[in-house]
Chain A
Amino acid sequence: MSVIAHADRIQAPPGAAVRRRKSFLRRRSTVAFFMALPLILIVALLVLYPASYAVYLSTLNKTMERFVGFGNFLFLFKRDSFWMVVEQSVIFAVTAVLFKAVIGLVVAHFVHNLPAKGQRKWRGMLLVPWVIPPAMSTLAWLWLFDPSYSAFNWIFAHFGIDPVPWLGNPYWARFAVILVNVWVGAPFFMIMYLAALKSVPDQLYEAAEIDGANWFQKLWYVTLPMMRNIISITVLFSLIVTFANFDIVRVLTNGGPLDQTQVFATWAFRLGIESNDIPLGASVSLFMFPVLAFAAIFILRDINRRGNEA
C-alpha cells in the first residue's frame, strides 16, 4: 500500500483523532451493514418470505379465497396416497443416505490405501457422477433401465437371468430410484471422508498397531471416533438434500408406477403446479420441514461446539 501518499493523515491533532476514531467506528459497522445488505435482502425476500408464505398458503382452500386452517392437513391425513408418500420418502431418504455413507466410507478407505501420487486420478474418476447434472445422468439410467432395450437385461440374458422390470414393478422402481440416488451422492461422501481420513494422525494408527489392534479395531477405535464430526455433518446434510430430492424421481419414474415412488417433492409438484392446487401442494412440501429442522438443529449444535473449541 502507498504509505507516502497518505502520510498527511497521521499528522492530525489528537482531539480530532479521537473524534475521527469514533465516527470511524460508527462508519465501520455502517459500511459493513451495507456490504451485507444485498445478501440480507435476497435471503429475506427470496427465502424467508416464500418459506413463511408457504405456511400461509397451506391454510387456504383450493381457489385460495377462504381460510381453512388445518383443513388441508386433515384432508391429507385421511388419504392413503399421502401415507404412501410419507413411507416412500422415509424409506428412500434413510436407505439412500445409509448406502451413500457406507459406500463413501469404503471407497475413501480404498483410495486412502493407495500410494499418494496415484490417488489423484482415482479420486478424479470417482467424483464424475457428482459433477454431471443429475437430470442428465438420470436420463442415462432411464435408458439403461429401458423396458425393451435395457442394457443390464441384455447382460443378464447371457447368464440366463430373466429380464428385470426395472421401472415397471413398484419394488424394482423403488430400488432403481435409490440406486441412482446412491450413485449420484456416494462420491460426495467419498471426497469428504477422504479429506477426513487424511487428517487422522498416523501416530494413532502406529500406536494401535503396537497395541496389537486388527483392522476392525483400528477402524472402530481410531478412524470412526476421529471422523465423528464429519460423518455426522455429511449424514445430516445429505439427509436434508435426499429428503427434498426432486430431479431423480421426476426423470426416472415421475412417481410411477401407481404413485409408488412418489416423494414429497415430486408429489407437491404434481399437486401444486400440475393439478393447480397450490395450497395442497404447499401443505405437502411443508412436511419436509420437520426433518429439515431436526437436521439443522444438530448441524448448528455441531458448528457452535466447534466454534467454541477454536
Chain B
Amino acid sequence: MTTTAQTYAGAAPSARGGSITRNRRKVLILSYVFLVLFVIFFLTPPLYMFITSLKTSAEISAEVSPWWVFSPTLANYIQLLTSPVYLTFFRNSILVSTFVVAITMVVSILAAFSLARMKFWGSATLATGVFLTYLIPDTLLFIPMFKTFAFLHDLTGIEFINHWWVLVIIYPTLTIPFCTWIMIGYFSSIPKELDEAALIDGASYMQLLTKIFVPVALPGIIAAAIFAFTVSWAQFLYPLAFTTSTDQLVLPVGIVTTLIKGDVFNWGQIMTGALLGAAPPLILYAFLMDYYIAGLTAGATKG
C-alpha cells in the first residue's frame, strides 16, 4: 500500500490521496531528523559529564579529542566513593530529602483531604492561597529567613545556621504548597459516593482518609512524593546561604564549593561528583517516568 502510494505520488505529485501519504512520510522523517538534533542538544551535557568522569587529569589536559575516552579509568569514582567528605554530603542529602519527603507527604495529604473534601470556613480561599505561596520564590525568602534564624538564635540559644537539619525546616516551604495543590486535584476526582458509603458504614474521617483516599489516590501520592524528593535533592540556594562547614553541606553545594577550590580544577572529579549527585533523581525518573510526568502536568491541568 505504501509503496504504491509512493510511486504514484512520485509520478503525479498533485494526486490527492498520494500526496497525503507522502506528506505524512515527509513529516515523519522530518520529525525524526529534528528530534535527533534536539536529543543531541539535550543529552550532550550529561554525556560529556560521563565522558569526563572516566578520564585521568593527564588525559583531560592532553591535546586529544575531549569527546572520546582513550584510557578509561574508574579512579575518579573510587576516589569520591571512598572520600569521607563526599560521603558526608551524600548522607546529608539523603537525610534531608527523606525527612522533607516524609513531612511534606503527611502535611499535604492531611491538608489536601481537608481542603478538597471536608471544607471549613475559608477553605476555598486557603486552597487558592496555597497555590499562590508556591509562586513566591526561594530567592525572595532567604534573606529574611537568614535574619530570623539569627534572631531566634539570640532568643533561644539554639544555633540554626550551619546545621543540615535547618534545611528540613525550610525545604517544606518549597514542596508542601505544590504537593497539596496536586493532591487536592487527585482527591477531588474521587467520587463522592465512595466517602458517603464509608461514612454511613461508620468510618471516621481519619479512616476515610487512610482506608479509601490514600489507596485510591496512590498514583498521585507517588507523583507528589517524587516531586518533593526531586526539589529537595536539587535545592541549591538555601544550603548555600544557611550551611558552611563541610560536614553540614548537602551534595549540590558541597560539590560546587569544595571540589571547585583554588585555580586548579580537577574536572574529572567534579564531573564524577556531579554525575553521582544527579544519579538518584535520574534513577528514580528512569523507573517511575510516568508518575514523574503525571506530577509535572497535574499542576497545570488539574487546576
Majority secondary structure, B binding face: helix
| Cβ-defined partner of A54 (8 Å) among B120, B140, B282, B296 | B140
The digit string for A188-219, where 1 denotes a CB below 8 A from any CB of B, is 10011001000000000000000000000000
Which of the listed residues A43, A124, A188 has the most CB atoms from chain B within 10 Å of its own CB? A43
Q: Contact check, A51 vs B300: say whether CB atoms are below 8 A apart.
A: no
Given contacts A53-B147, A131-B285, A140-B46, contact A265 B255 (CB under 8 A): no
Mark the stretch among A24-32, A66-74, A76-84 that contacts chain B.
A24-32
Chain A residues closer than 8 Å to B70, beta-carbon distance:
none
Expressed in whole angstroms, the minimum distance between the Cβ of B151 and any Cβ of chain A is: 10
The digit string for B194-218, where 1 denotes a CB below 8 A from any CB of A, is 0001100111010100010000000
B148, CB-defined interface residue at 8 Å: yes
Q: Contact check, B67 vs A151: say whether CB atoms are below 8 A apart.
A: yes
Q: Contact check, A133 vs B277: say whether CB atoms are below 8 A apart.
A: yes
Chain A residues closer than 8 Å to B282, beta-carbon distance:
128, 131-132
B49, CB-defined interface residue at 8 Å: yes
* In the bound complex, CA of A234 to CA of B303 (Å): 12
Q: Contact check, B45 vs A285: say whether CB atoms are below 8 A apart.
A: no
Q: Give the number of chain B interface residues (Cβ < 8 Å).
A: 103
Q: Look across to chain B and name the residue whose beta carbon is closest to the beta carbon of A30.
A: B120
A303, CB-defined interface residue at 8 Å: yes
* In the bound complex, CA of A280 to CA of B80 (Å): 40
A36, CB-defined interface residue at 8 Å: yes
| Cβ-defined partner of A42 (8 Å) among B107, B202, B256 | B107
| Cβ-defined partner of A36 (8 Å) among B52, B120, B132 | B120
Chain B residues closer than 8 Å to A141, beta-carbon distance:
45
Q: Give the number of chain A interface residues (Cβ < 8 Å).
A: 102
Chain B residues closer than 8 Å to A36, beta-carbon distance:
110-111, 114-115, 120, 123, 126
Q: Contact check, A268 vs B143: say whether CB atoms are below 8 A apart.
A: yes
Mark the stretch among B7-15, B83-91, B233-241 that contacts chain A.
B233-241
Residues 32-52 of B contacting A (Cβ, < 8 Å): 32, 34-35, 38-39, 41-46, 48-49, 52
Given contacts A53-B148, A133-B281, contact A188 B270 (CB under 8 A): no
Chain B residues closer than 8 Å to A136, beta-carbon distance:
234, 252, 255, 274-275, 277-278
Residues 13-68 of A contacting B (Cβ, < 8 Å): 28-33, 35-36, 38-40, 42-43, 46-51, 53-54, 57
* In the bound complex, CA of A187 to CA of B293 (Å): 11
| Cβ-defined partner of A31 (8 Å) among B118, B140, B285 | B118
Which of the listed residues B130, B137, B292 has the most CB atoms from chain A within 10 Å of its own CB? B137
B61, CB-defined interface residue at 8 Å: yes
Q: Look across to chain B and name the residue whose beta carbon is closest to the beta carbon of A126.
A: B42
Majority secondary structure, A binding face: helix
* In the bound complex, CA of A6 to CA of B108 (Å): 30
* In the bound complex, CA of A195 to CA of B295 (Å): 12
B27, CB-defined interface residue at 8 Å: yes
Q: Contact check, A288 vs B120: say whether CB atoms are below 8 A apart.
A: no
Q: Contact check, A39 vs B111: say whether CB atoms are below 8 A apart.
A: yes
Q: Contact check, A135 vs B130: say whether CB atoms are below 8 A apart.
A: no
List the count of A-B residue pairs having beta carbons below 8 Å apart: 306
* In the bound complex, CA of A110 to CA of B130 (Å): 35
* In the bound complex, CA of A2 to CA of B230 (Å): 39
Chain B residues closer than 8 Å to A140, beta-carbon distance:
45-46, 48-49, 271, 274
A241, CB-defined interface residue at 8 Å: yes
| Cβ-defined partner of A143 (8 Å) among B48, B110, B126, B233 | B48
Q: Contact check, B144 vs A32: say whether CB atoms are below 8 A apart.
A: no
A226, CB-defined interface residue at 8 Å: no
Q: Contact check, B255 vs A47: say whether CB atoms are below 8 A apart.
A: no
* In the bound complex, CA of A246 to CA of B60 (Å): 29
Q: Contact check, B281 vs A135: say whether CB atoms are below 8 A apart.
A: no
Given contacts A35-B113, A151-B48, contact A139 B270 (CB under 8 A): yes
Given contacts A6-B202, A38-B110, A51-B136, contact A195 B38 (CB under 8 A): no
Sample 22 A-B pairs with CB under 8 A, ordered by A number: A9-B202, A29-B118, A32-B119, A33-B120, A36-B114, A42-B107, A43-B130, A47-B177, A107-B35, A128-B43, A132-B46, A136-B234, A139-B49, A140-B274, A151-B66, A183-B41, A192-B296, A244-B139, A250-B236, A282-B143, A299-B135, A303-B131
- B interface, CB within 8 angstroms of A: 27-28, 30-32, 34-35, 38-39, 41-46, 48-49, 52, 60-61, 65-67, 106-108, 110-111, 113-115, 118-121, 123, 126, 128-133, 135-148, 169-170, 172-173, 176-177, 180, 197-198, 201-203, 205, 207, 211, 230, 233-234, 236-237, 240-241, 251-253, 255-256, 267, 270-271, 274-275, 277-278, 281-282, 285-286, 289, 292-293, 296-297, 300-301, 303
